[in-house]
């Protein structure tokens, strides 16, 4: 480790005109007097919650064997490159997503219960009050996100649409994050808005976009600060800083350039339209932005809807021109089962892309994946029959080396998934007696296995 005479504060920003760029974890951020005896950077924990909708083809999802030597199932094979950071959990359930005869649809109940363990009653009638619960991601954000610039990010790549939401309660499927029992957090769809929230500083949206258009890059205004900071860094830290700034500039260019052909005539100032036409590029761009946010410690908690319950998205580019929700109701038709399995596999491939990005990003004495825990799953297990048990559930990351990976754990049928959320919150130093329908921590606890 190169020790400089000057130690940088962890929360150092490069400030320019209308920009504030946080620095990644550098060796110079370890206090100089203790650096020689330090074996850990004390990297902060990061949590991510990624939602996939409409259930999965379980015979292709669930591994056939359990324990550390489990074999990846056909759908989960893309995760092989990060095997040692993967824990697959099966047998979990959200029984609060079942019907209680109140009229709310199965799909809205699935996404509503996922991070709450709470039943979503039909609140669409005149005079009714929308009420759910604070979600696990927000409990975590209130605890580990208090000192970051953004306490949590809520993202989606599956746009809210008009149309039937079972009984009309669309708000339950358009977000998986609730600030409190009456306030859902809207999920952001536009990568430019996300970028400006991370790196813009001051001014309204119009002013920030005009500034980016005029200067070419948000980084141009912080170049003087880069030079000032760089002169006190060792060679390794200079390389890390340059690579980090290059990644910001590269993503910025990707946001500015791949505008949808159908939207190019729209006034950019009035209506930002920087969403790539390719869904694959769009999703990877959003994951890259989240990687940057973790790397700069701008936020430590995020949620992302990879697919929305009742989604009408089609996937012709992978051979599935049918709508996602329609395919999930396969009625045991082999052709539709194969199409749904293709969608499931593709979503896991996108997850693998993100995890490999985290694994490649150095963060102090480890990688972002070493210091993170990502939960990917759903509130629905079987989309064909609307069953809310045997939920797809994957944990990825080691949370500062404290979470053992590389295993599959099969729990007794209908074990509350809320117990996993309690275990997760406990792991970040937030003991929680009860969350939704939890009955305690998971046993065995996947976050505390020797």
Whether the Cβ atoms of residue 346 and residue 193 lie closer than 8 Å to each other: no
**Least reliable range by pLDDT among 72-86, 88-102, 262-276, 403-417:** 262-276
Between these two residues, 250 and 176, which has the higher pLDDT value? 176
| SS3 state at 69 | coil
Task: Yes or no: say if 408 and 67 are a contact pair by the CB < 8 Å rule.
Answer: yes
Report how far residue 372's alpha carbon sits from residue 279's, in angstroms, rounded to the nearest whole number: 26
User: In this predicted structure, which of 1-5, 62-66, 209-213, 343-347 has the lowest mean pLDDT?
Assistant: 1-5
More confident residue, 221 or 61: 61
- CA atoms of 38 and 134, how far apart (whole Å): 38
**200-238 residue pLDDT tens:** 754 455 555 555 555 556 566 556 566 667 766 777 777
- pLDDT for position 238: 76
The structure's pTM equals 0.83
pLDDT at 262 over 60: no
Measured CA to CA, the distance from residue 362 to residue 43 in angstroms comes to 11
The predicted structure's pLDDT at residue 434: 95
pLDDT at 372: 97
Q: Where are the domains of the chain?
A: 1-39+195-274, 46-189+279-285+300-450
How confident is residue 393, by pLDDT bands cut at 50, 70 and 90?
A: very high
Contact 28, 234 (CB under 8 A): yes
Predicted confidence (pLDDT) at residue 57 exceeds the cutoff of 60: yes
Query: What pLDDT is recorded for position 13?
Result: 56
Q: How far apart are CA 23 and CA 249, in angstroms?
A: 14
Of 105-119, 226-240, 254-268, 298-312, the range with the lowest mean pLDDT is 254-268
Q: Is the peptide bond before 206 cis (omega within 30 degrees of 0)?
A: no
Q: Would you say 300 and 44 are in contact if contact means Cβ atoms under 8 Å apart?
A: yes
CA–CA distance, 347 with 316 (Å, rounded to integer) = 14
Q: What is the mean pLDDT of residues 422-428?
A: 96
261-270, 275-284, 288-297: range with lowest mean pLDDT? 261-270
**Can you list the alpha helix ranges (DSSP code H) found in 152-220?**
191-199, 205-215
Is residue 65 predicted with pLDDT exceeding 80? Answer: yes
pLDDT higher than 90, residue 304: yes
Of the pLDDT bands very low, low, confident and very high (cuts 50, 70, 90), residue 267 is: very low
pLDDT at 85 over 80: yes
Let me know: does 121 contact 113? Beta carbons within 8 Å.
Answer: no
Residue % of the chain over a pLDDT of 90? 59
Among the listed ranges 51-60, 84-93, 320-329, 358-367, which one has the minimum average pLDDT value?
Answer: 358-367
Residue 270 has pLDDT above 50, yes or no: no
User: Counting Cβ atoms within 10 Å, is residue 322 exposed (0-12), middle (13-18) or buried (19+)?
Assistant: middle
- 29-33, 50-54, 443-447, range with the lowest pLDDT: 29-33
14-28, 113-127, 155-169, 203-217: least confident range? 203-217
Contact partners, residue 215, CB within 8 Å, separation at least 6 = 221
Mean pLDDT calculated for residue range 151-169: 74
Residue 215 tokens, joined: 């200067």
Cβ distance 389 to 381 under 8 Å?
Answer: yes
The mean pLDDT value for 394-407 works out to 92
- Mean pLDDT of the chain, nearest integer: 83
pLDDT at 37: 28
- pLDDT above 60: residue 122: yes
DSSP 240: H
Residue 330 clears pLDDT 60, i.e. is over it? yes
pLDDT above 70 covers what percent of the chain?
75
Say whether pLDDT at 38 is over 50: no
Predicted local confidence at residue 437, as pLDDT: 97
CATH number for domain 46-189+279-285+300-450, candidates 1.20.120, 2.20.180, 3.30.70, 3.40.720: 3.40.720
pLDDT, position 242? 74
């Amino acid at each position: 480790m190169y020790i400089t005479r000057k130690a940088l504060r962890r929360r150092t920003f490069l400030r320019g005109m209308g920009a504030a760029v946080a620095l990644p974890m550098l060796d110079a951020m370890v206090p100089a007097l203790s650096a020689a005896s330090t074996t850990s950077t004390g990297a902060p924990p990061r949590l991510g919650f990624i939602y996939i909708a409409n259930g999965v083809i379980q015979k292709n999802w669930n591994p056939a064997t359990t324990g550390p030597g489990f074999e990846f199932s056909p759908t989960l094979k893309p995760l092989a490159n990060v095997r040692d950071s993967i824990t697959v959990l099966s047998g979990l359930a959200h029984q609060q997503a079942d019907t209680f005869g109140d009229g709310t649809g199965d799909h809205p109940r699935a996404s509503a219960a996922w991070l709450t363990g709470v039943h979503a009653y039909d609140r669409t009638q005149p005079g009714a009050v929308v009420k759910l619960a604070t979600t696990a991601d927000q409990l975590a954000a209130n605890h580990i996100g208090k000192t970051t610039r953004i306490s949590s990010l809520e993202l989606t790549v599956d746009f809210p649409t008009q149309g039937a939401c079972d009984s009309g309660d669309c708000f339950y499927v358009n977000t998986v994050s609730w600030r409190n029992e009456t306030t859902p957090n809207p999920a952001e769809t536009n990568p430019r808005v996300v970028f400006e929230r991370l790196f813009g500083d001051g001014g309204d949206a119009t002013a920030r976009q005009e500034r980016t258009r005029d200067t070419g890059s948000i980084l141009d205004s912080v170049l003087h600060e880069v030079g000032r900071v760089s002169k006190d860094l060792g060679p390794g830290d200079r390389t890390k800083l340059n690579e980090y700034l290059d990644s910001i500039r590269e993503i910025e260019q990707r946001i500015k350039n791949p505008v949808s052909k159908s939207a190019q005539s729209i006034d950019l100032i009035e209506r930002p339209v920087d969403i790539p036409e390719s869904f694959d590029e769009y999703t990877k761009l959003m994951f890259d932005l989240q990687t940057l946010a973790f790397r700069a410690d701008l936020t430590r908690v995020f949620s992302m809807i990879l697919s929305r319950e009742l989604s009408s998205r089609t996937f012709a580019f992978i051979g599935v021109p049918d709508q996602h929700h329609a395919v999930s109701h396969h009625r045991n038709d082999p052709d539709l089962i194969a199409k749904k399995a293709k969608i499931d596999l593709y979503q896991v491939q996108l997850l693998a892309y993100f995890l490999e990005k985290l694994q490649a990003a150095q963060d102090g004495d480890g990688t972002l994946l070493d210091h993170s825990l990502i939960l990917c799953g759903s509130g629905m297990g079987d989309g064909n029959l609307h069953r809310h048990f045997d939920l797809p559930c994957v944990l990825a990351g080691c949370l500062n080396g404290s979470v053992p990976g590389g295993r599959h754990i099969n729990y007794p049928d209908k074990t509350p998934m809320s117990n996993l959320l309690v275990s997760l919150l406990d792991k970040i130093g937030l003991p929680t007696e009860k969350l939704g329908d939890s009955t305690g921590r998971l046993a065995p606890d996947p976050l505390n296995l020797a």
